[in-house]
Amino acid sequence: YRAKGTGTYRFFEPAMDRELKQSQRLQRDLHNAIAADAVIPHYQPLVRLKDGVVVGFEVLARWNHPMLGSISPEVFISIAEDAGLIGQLTQSILKQACVDASKWPDQIKIAVNLSPIQLKDTTLPDQILHTLKISRFPPQRLELEITETALVNDNRTANAILSRFRAMGIDIALDDFGTGYSSLQNLRMFPVTKLKIDKSFVRSMSLDANSKKLISGILALSRSLGITTTAEGIEEAAEAEYLRSIGCDFGQGYCYAKPMKADDVPRFLTVQVPA
Ligand code: C2E
Ligand code: CA
Ligand code: CA
Ligand code: CA
């Protein structure tokens, strides 16, 4: 038995070692990429449903690794969180997005994602403010997207941080709404100005009557709280039309555009014809 166990152990050891080394290698590569602003923002339009006007863009990070090619943000964001690099990554993405968006019309907003662990860091508002100042970018043009998981653990700290953002004129969107477990409580307790209905509800809307009811319920709720609603993951024009007809304010999804490079935004804005 022992021989077998040892064999198994020996078999796994080099594999674990390789994985560990690869992850250290990836951490180092990611660290260098962030420092060089080589993790870059792409932009996906946020569209006002009632008239089809583009009101802003969500900023989505992209990393093209020199050897491994394009790595999914879900993967490198979690590496950045584990390696203590998420603060630097956010600042780099925000800085680049401010430079890009400064070339676009003033009314176009940018929505930047925050990682849940960043809402434990009370220096975050000052860091963001600093980056906005050196970029000469008005806080009123920035929206921050947070997920509900950020709010469950240390809700006093999170609340204090969000209140400071609100005082600076920055909007707060609650992302992936409906996938967390304490959604209603969060809307009441935190200074949220917008909620984003998770794409899983929109994707299942045409197949499943319950998803439709749920979306209607979320819309009624946000109306009663005076906050606006964005539906994400809209892929079909019929979905956009239905969501508009039930009073959803904004939409986002492949139906309008996939996330695009900064260079493609000005042309997208000129060809965009209001409905
Ligand atoms: P998210 O914040 O929920 O972003 C929306 C995701 O849905 C994006 O995936 C976007 O490309 C995708 N999407 C947009 N429209 C459609 C559609 O019509 N259909 C479908 N099926 N998907 C659609 P992406 O870019 O792969 O990003 C994945 C996640 O990675 C994001 O989810 C966000 O949680 C995280 N992420 C991306 N960039 C950043 C960042 O700069 N900072 C942080 N902290 N997280 C980021
Ligand atoms: Ca988001
Ligand atoms: Ca989302
Ligand atoms: Ca998500």
Query: What is 47-112 written as a DSSP string?
Result: EETTT--EEEEEEEEEEEETTTEEE-HHHHHHHHHHTT-HHHHHHHHHHHHHHHHTTS-TT-EEEE
Query: What pLDDT shows up at residue 4?
Result: 47
Query: What pLDDT shows up at residue 17?
Result: 66
Query: What pLDDT shows up at residue 12?
Result: 55
The one-letter code for the residue type at 197 is I
Query: What pLDDT shows up at residue 3?
Result: 46
What ipTM was predicted for this assembly? 0.98
Query: What pLDDT shows up at residue 79?
Result: 95
Residue given tokens 């990070």 in the structure block:
61
Q: How far apart are CA 53 and CA 245, in angstroms?
A: 16
Question: Ligand 1 test: best mutation among 57, 75, 76, 113, most atoms within 8 Å of CB?
Answer: 113
Residue 153 C-beta-side C-alpha neighbours within 13 Å = 9
* In contact, 151 and 119? CB cutoff 8 Å: yes
Would you write out the chain's pLDDT as a tens digit for each of its 275 residues?
444 444 445 555 666 666 766 788 999 999 999 999 999 999 999 999 999 999 999 999 999 999 999 999 999 999 999 999 999 999 999 999 999 999 999 999 999 999 999 999 999 999 999 999 999 999 999 999 998 877 776 788 999 999 999 999 999 999 998 887 666 778 888 899 999 999 999 988 877 888 889 899 999 999 999 999 999 999 999 999 999 999 999 999 999 999 999 999 999 999 875 55
Q: Which ligand sits nearest to residue 200's alpha carbon?
A: 1
Which one from 232, 235, 239, 241 is the annotated catalytic residue? Answer: 232
Q: Which residue's C-alpha comes closest to atom 11 of ligand 1?
A: 259
* In contact, 43 and 60? CB cutoff 8 Å: yes
Query: What pLDDT shows up at residue 249?
Result: 98
The set of protein residues with a Cβ atom below 6 angstroms from ligand 1 is 44, 60-61, 73-74, 77, 93, 113-115, 145, 175-176, 199, 232-235, 252-254, 259
Q: How far apart are CA 203 and CA 67, in angstroms?
A: 34
Residues, beta carbon < 5 Å, ion ligand 3: 175-176
Q: Which ligand sits nearest to residue 145's alpha carbon?
A: 2
In 3D space, the residue among 140, 81, 136, 89 whose CA is nearest the CA of residue 110 turns out to be 140
What is the distance in A from the centroid of ligand 1 to the CA of 60?
A: 6
Residue 178's SS3 state is coil
pLDDT tens track for 85-98? 999 999 999 999 99
232 in catalytic set:
yes
Q: Is the dihedral of CA 11, 14, 19, 20 positive or negative?
A: positive
